[in-house]
Structures are given as C-alpha cells and as structure tokens.
Amino acid sequence: MSASHDRAGALSELLRAAGAARPDAIFARIGGAANDAPAALRAGALDALADHYAARLAEADLPQGTRLLLLSAPEPRTLSAIVGALRAGLDVALAPPALDAVSIAAVAEACGAGALAGPTDFAELRTGERMFEAAALLDTIRLVALHGAGEAGALALDAAREDDAPSAAPTHEPQLLAVDMLDAAPKCLAISQGRGQEVAREFVARAGLLEGEAIVSTISLASEAGLVGGAFAPLIGGAHVIWQAPFAARRFLETLEISARAHLFAPAGVAVDLGAAGILTADRLSSLTLVAADAVPTPTFAHGVDPARVFVLRGGADVGLRLEALEKNGENRAS
C-alpha cells in the first residue's frame, strides 16, 4: 500500500472533521445507556476531549515516539484517549481491558511500552490498580495515565489544566498497533489507519449506512475490526456506535429493540446462535458484519437479513483487512 493511502493521522482527522461538522451529534454510548447519560458523548465533546488528553500527555514530558499501551475499554473516552495519544506524538498499542497485571506486564514488554494508560475501572476489574501492579513488575514504565476517576500516583487525564492552549503538533509520525494474543507470546502488530478507513468507507456504501443510524458492536476496540465498526465507520457515515461489552444478553436484546434496525458487528462464531435466537431478521437489523479470521459458520436467514447486506470482515497477522460478501448459502466471496 502506498504511503498516501496509509495516513497515520486518518483517525484523528476523521474525529476532527466530525466534531466540526456535527458537534452535537451523539457519536457513541454504551449499551443500555440513554442518549443523555454520561456514557453518551457527542462528536464535538469527543474531539475536544482528545485535545485535552493530548495536552495532558504532552505535559508528562514523555519523548515523542514513546509507546503507550492503552487498555481499550468499549467506551467513548477510549476513542479520545487513542486520538489524544496520537496527537501527542505517542505510538499507541491497543490491548484488551480485562488483562490481569501479569498479562499487562507481558504485553507491555512485548510491545516495548514505556507508558500504560486506560480507565481507572472497567466492569469492576480495577484496571488502574492492575496497571500499577504491572508497572511494578517492569523497569521500563515511566508513566501510568488514567481516564475516569483519578488514582494517586497516576497522571489523571481528565484533570483540569491551568493552561487551555492546545499542545504543539507532534514532530513524530505516530503508529497505531494492536496486540495479538492468539499465540503463547503476545505480539504487537501495526494497524494501517488508511486501510481501516478504506474498508469502513466500503462498508458505509455497501451496508447503506445513513447518518443518525446505530452501529451495535460486540467487537473489542483493541483490534482492527473493532476500529472499523467502532470508530472509522461511524465517523465516516455520521452514525453512532453502541458498544455491548461486557456482553449481557438481556441488554443486547434491549439495545436491538430500541435501535431501529441497527448495523450489527459480531464475532462469526456466534452467527449460528444469533440466527437460532431469531435475531437475524430484517425488522431488527439493517446489516450484519461477522468478524472472522477463519471459516465462517452459516447464519440462519430464514426470516431474512438481506444477504446482500451480510458481510465478513477479516483481519489479523496473516490476513489483510478486507470486507467480503456472504452468500445466502454461507459461502463467502471477497469483494
């Protein structure tokens, strides 16, 4: 892929544009939260928060190019944290939020991280405490930064600043990476923001995503596929994203009921179960995107999501990110 298509600033630029064009539009919320709840953030606020996080990180005097391991909880502030760190000139490695301290330390070491960041708490897992425990196991971690409630010894990303001036533009072109934990030893793999944007634009066009519609995602933000459905596509299409994690069946069904034919991103491995539960219907879903690296099980189309709007999103270390159509008989073909 040419450098012109692999722009390191793609995600930041999209958030900036959305914040300027649709500042009051709901961009993201957590499943079960109302549009006026604190868990729902508007595009303009998310962009401003990213600038705030960038300035807070710049004040920490980390050298540009430092690798920040970010525990990527499925919540709106995570997108601001990703973009904020990139705007501060830091390389950002995305990791699942539910890792224990030993696993965080192993991933940080594998990725060459010099700093840790994430929510103070996620699903009552006390992620902030786990990051401090991980930092104590390594001699390479210079900073622990937390969003949400503060914790002693950490850089509080949400704390007010004395000087509201934005941070200077970075001189380092930052990288975005994802942690591959499928093998015994974790690996840090580069994410192409340009390719993520291309695939998201293809999805928006083929799924018929309209401004104001909902994308419901059960896919981790700490992945290429999760960024397509949870960041690139809603920013490009003017939609809002609703994250379903930690997954709760009742909340998931309630979200689909109130989301007026949402666009669902889900692991391919649960497709048969979704079909059996009667969820794959045209009155519930506008489109279905199954995230997979291997063979895809055949969903049940008896009551009909339009097969032309059922896709497989593939990615991973050995498979380039791409969107495929899924035939009615379950045999997929590349677009």
Residues 53, 32, 289, CA angle at the centre, nearest 5°?
A: 85
> Residue 39 has what pLDDT?
53
Write out the two tokens for 314: 């593939």
The DSSP element (H or E) to which 52 belongs, if any, is helix 43-59
First-to-last alpha carbon distance for the chain, in angstroms, is 17
The confidence score (pLDDT) of residue 327 equals 61
Query: Alpha carbon of 31 to those of 242, 243, 248: distances in Å?
Result: 5, 5, 9
Task: Output the pLDDT for position 105.
Answer: 97
The tens place of each residue's pLDDT in the chain, 335 residues long, gives 333 345 557 999 999 999 999 998 888 876 655 444 445 688 999 999 999 999 999 999 899 999 999 999 988 899 999 999 999 999 999 999 999 999 999 999 999 999 999 999 988 889 999 999 999 999 999 999 999 876 778 999 998 877 766 677 788 899 999 998 777 789 899 999 999 999 999 999 999 999 989 999 999 899 999 999 999 999 999 999 988 866 777 888 888 877 778 999 998 888 878 887 888 888 889 999 999 876 666 665 544 677 778 898 987 555 578 898 876 445 555 44
Q: Is 257 within 8 Å of 281 (Cβ atoms)?
A: no
- Helix (H), strand (E) at residue 79: helix 76-87
**Contacts of 57 by beta carbon, 8 Å cutoff, 6+ apart:** 68, 84, 85, 88, 90, 145, 155, 157, 167
CB–CB of 39/30 below 8 Å?
A: yes
Cis before residue 246, ω within 30 degrees of 0? yes
- For 316-327, b/e burial (b = at least 16 CB within 10 A) is beeeebbbbbbe
Q: Coil, strand or helix: which one is 255?
A: helix
pLDDT at 37: 46
Contact 117, 90 (CB under 8 A): no
* CATH number, domain 43-190: 3.40.50.980
Cβ proximity of 301 and 272 under 8 Å: no
Are 43-190 and 193-334 the same fold in CATH? yes
Contact 94, 107 (CB under 8 A): no
CATH code, 193-334: 3.40.50.980
- Distance, in Å, from the CA atom of 137 to the CA atom of 131, rounded to the nearest integer, reads 10
Helix, coil or strand: residue 234: helix
Of 218, 215, 325, 298, which is closest to residue 262 (Cα–Cα)?
215
Report d(CA 100, CA 109) in Å as an integer: 14
In what helix (H) or strand (E) does residue 71 lie, and over which residues does it extend? strand 67-71
In the chain, domain spans: 43-190, 193-334
pLDDT for the residue 83:
96
pLDDT at 41: 80
Sign of the dihedral through C-alpha 123, 146, 93, 17? positive
What CA–CA distance (Å, rounded) separates 16 from 20?
Answer: 6
Token digits for 328? 């009615």
Kind plus residue range of the DSSP H or E element containing 288: strand 285-292
